[in-house]
């Protein structure tokens, strides 16, 4: 179980995973060893699984992103998931409730590349149909 201090630490790390222990300690008004111990405990407990790269403004702005809802033939779900994992432009895949079975987050360098990836997804074995929503603007991301 995590407490409010752990939640604050996680928020700070989501904002800047490269923040130093000293910076985190100052922001939390605690000692460096307290932050180190909390991070070690959160990592050991599986709360923190890793640290990732956030793309910079200009590069990120040049990316085209789409959320692709995917209806899958149930007997082929495993194959479809594996095939989607093999498409490098698919950055995330969620299993969801409702009319569709999956939502894939697709990031491409251009509309042309996005169109090709959407065609590839639609042609995968096990995909019954798709519905895509292109992201026009990201208001915030945590």
Q: What pLDDT does residue 139 have?
A: 87
Q: Are 28 and 35 within 8 A, CB to CB?
A: yes
Residues 122, 102 contacting (CB under 8 angstroms): no
Q: What is the pTM of this model?
A: 0.67
We find that the CATH architecture of domain 57-134 is 2-Layer Sandwich (3.30)
What's the gap between Cα 136 and its chain centre? 18
Q: pLDDT tens digits, residue range 94-110?
A: 999 999 999 999 999 99
| Stronger pLDDT, 141 or 87, i.e. the higher one | 87
| C-alpha–C-alpha distance, residues 104 and 133, integer Å | 11
Q: Any idea which of 37-51, 67-81, 94-108, 122-136 has the lowest mean pLDDT?
A: 37-51
**Residue length of the chain:** 142
Question: Is 80 exceeded by the pLDDT of residue 62?
Answer: no
Sequence ranges of the domains in the chain: 4-44, 57-134
Please tell me the distance from the alpha carbon of residue 35 to that of residue 31, in angstroms, as a whole number: 7
Topology (CATH) of 4-44: Arc Repressor Mutant, subunit A (1.10.10)
């Amino acid at each position: 179980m995590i407490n409010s201090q752990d939640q604050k630490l996680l928020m700070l790390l989501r904002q800047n995973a490269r923040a130093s222990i000293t910076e985190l300690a100052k922001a939390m008004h605690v000692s460096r060893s307290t932050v180190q111990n909390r991070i070690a405990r959160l990592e050991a407990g599986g709360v923190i699984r890793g640290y990732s790269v956030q793309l910079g403004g200009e590069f990120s702005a040049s990316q085209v992103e789409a959320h692709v809802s995917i209806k899958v033939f149930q007997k082929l779900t495993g194959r479809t998931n594996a095939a989607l994992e093999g498409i490098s432009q698919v950055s995330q895949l969620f299993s969801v409730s409702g009319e569709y079975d999956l939502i894939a987050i697709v990031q491409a360098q251009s509309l042309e590349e996005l169109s090709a990836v959407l065609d590839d997804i639609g042609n995968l074995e096990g995909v019954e149909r798709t519905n895509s929503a292109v992201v026009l603007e990201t208001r915030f991301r945590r």
